[in-house]
Chain A
Amino acid sequence: MKKMINKVEDVVKQQLEGFAIAHKELEVSLDPMFIVRKNQSHSKVAIISGGGSGHEPMHGGFVGQGMLDGACPGEMFTSPTPDQMYECGLKAHSGKGVLFLVKNYTGDVLNFETSLELLHAEGIEVQTALIDDDVAVKDSLYTAGRRGVATTVLAEKILGAAAESSYTLEQLSVLAKRIANNGRSFGVGLKACTVPAAGKPSFTLEDNEVEFGVGIHGEPGIERRPYVDCDSLTESMMAEILNNNPYVREVRLWDNSIGDWKTETWTTEPLLKGDKVIVLINNLGATPESELYIVFRKVAETLTEQGITIERSIIGSYCTSLDMQGVSITILNADKEMIALFDRPVKTPSLCWGES
């Protein structure tokens, strides 16, 4: 295995060390591992996310003005532990509460929920927001539910801007739920990634095969399909995304008024003709940037056929899976509020635009 790494057990630590030198405007803690903004200018809800390492720039690359206040990287493809989010939460908290943005994986949910309980015990107002946008997983009754993937990046941008504009924790929760119910993603893998500890690719594909409905942790997709070309693959992916079968699931949220968990039923909203969307064409790691544009061309054509308008698009490596060669498409049905927040200035290592 040839990678730009040294000892396998030092990978995450060493990448954080390099990141800390490159980004002195951020504070990097190595034990427990987390990244936070320095020198917050005003009191606002602290937005914290995190997850396994291996998806960079998500989440550390998105810490800064207008996006995340803190990010907690776990070991490779492994959920971070409660002590990380707890310490990060204490550090980032500026008096208006903490919002944990959680991707829907059993590990992430369990660890973030545990740290929420710890912060609550410190008297800090807290809430979780869940992203479960990967339409590859069909139902939530007999599975762990839909995976949280690239809509998370859009959620971090929109919620980050909203927090910067002094939205309250309650207002952010409402917005987060709307994003979660309007975001859809689907991924394909052309070649598996190699996790340093495993030393070899997580699965092997023939030249004429793709993993259809692939996640971001190197696990196999929901099925293996024959490879034809980009357009037919993109069409198949869009067919999955545009499928409007309602997705209903039970989501666990914190209820501050009772100091305990409550369950809500969420339903993904249908995508209709006339809708306006934000599109994210996401490199899963090893796809040439040029190919992302070929995919986007087809995505734009398909959406036009459906009478759906692309308001904004973002194309590049945002929610990766190490060196997986593959692409994911995210369509977020966005209203005026979401688009305005998306446009607000942001200043992070991996997303930077507008004047602050």
Chain B
Amino acid sequence: MTMTITKQQIITWLRNSVEEFNTQQDLLTSLDREIGDADHGLNMNRGFQKVNEKLPSLTDKDIGTILKTTGITLLSSIGGASGPLYGTFFIRCASLVAAKEELSLSDLTDMLQGGVDGIKDRGKAEIGDKTMVDTLGGILNSLNMNQSKNVIEAIAIAAEAGSMATKSTIPMIAKKGRASYLGERSIGHQDPGATSASLLFNCLRDAVK
């Protein structure tokens, strides 16, 4: 039974994300055109391209350093609200796993909880506001319920929960961010931030399976 995630797998997670946010630019842009200003795909790709430049120097570092550098890089390159939110997410995660070389399922869960709490502190969103918090909340609920499973399985189940949570944003009315200016016109559209959060976690799933 696989017990831990290694730091190599964390690097692979980030590498996968670089590729994913490059490939899925148009998807995120088109979602953001409907209820935003059509820049989410571009911003996430730009941010992760900058992370990609940092990866070679991080391969021998501990998980805390890897994630903190990722957070700081995203903070200064994504822009918009996503920059501070994803930046804070990774920086908070990093603070909970400082000096670690591997993570158990419980370490990972606590880490992600800290990251999500950081996003909620900054952006003040709750589940139901039609944001990335819906997706991340769904992922954390799932991880918390599957602590007795092996880490690969728990992450796979959580990724599925994340996708469902992303889809659940479709009928919601946006209460935060640019989509909230649209009021009821935001109903019927999948939230771009929730989508990028789901893609990010899928990349972790693919890195450990």
Contact = CB atoms under 8 A, between A and B. Distances in A.
Interface string A104-118: 011100110010000
Given A79-B83, A110-B123, A198 B180 contact: no
Given A107-B79, A110-B81, A144 B39 contact: no
B79 A222 contact: no
A52 B85 CA distance: 17
B81 A107 contact: yes
Contacts of B84: 82, 107, 110-111, 114
Given A107-B79, A111-B79, A195 B38 contact: yes
B178 A106 contact: yes
Interface string A62-102: 00000000000011111111110000000000000000000
Given A147-B181, A219-B181, A74 B37 contact: no
Interface stretch (A13-21, A135-143, A153-161, A307-315): A135-143
A223 B183 CA distance: 9
B35 interface: yes
B205 interface: no
B76 A198 contact: no
Given A75-B42, A144-B178, A106 B79 contact: no
A81 B79 contact: yes
Nearest to B83: A81
Question: Which secondary structure dominates chain B's binding surface?
Answer: helix
Contacts of B81: 79, 105-107, 110
Given A75-B46, A75-B79, A198 B181 contact: no
Interface residues of B, number: 35
A220 B38 contact: no
A81 B181 contact: no
A217 interface: yes
Nearest to A141: B175
Contacts of B85: 110
Interface in B178-201: 178, 180-183, 185
Interface in B65-115: 75-85
B146 to A, nearest CB: 32
B178 A197 contact: no
B47 to A, nearest CB: 10
A245 B178 CA distance: 23
B177 A202 contact: no
Interface string B27-63: 0010001011111011100100000000000000000
B80 A219 contact: no
B182 A219 contact: yes
A114 B88 CA distance: 10
Interface in A186-222: 195, 197-198, 202-203, 215, 217-220, 222
Contact of B80 (A78, A142, A202, A222): A78
A74 B76 CA distance: 11
A195 B37 contact: yes
A111 B36 CA distance: 18
Contacts of B75: 81-82, 114
A195 B38 CA distance: 8
Interface of B: 29, 33, 35-39, 41-43, 46, 75-85, 122-123, 173-178, 180-183, 185
25 contacts: A52-B80, A75-B43, A78-B39, A78-B80, A80-B79, A82-B84, A105-B81, A107-B83, A110-B81, A110-B84, A114-B75, A136-B181, A143-B181, A144-B178, A147-B181, A197-B38, A197-B41, A203-B33, A215-B178, A217-B37, A218-B37, A219-B35, A219-B36, A222-B182, A222-B185
Q: What are the 9 tightest A-B residue pairs by CB atom distance, in nearest-first order?
A: A217-B37, A143-B180, A110-B84, A107-B80, A78-B79, A107-B81, A106-B81, A198-B38, A83-B76
Given A74-B79, A81-B78, A197-B42, 12 more contacts: A77-B39, A78-B79, A107-B80, A110-B83, A110-B85, A110-B123, A114-B84, A143-B175, A144-B178, A197-B38, A198-B33, A222-B185
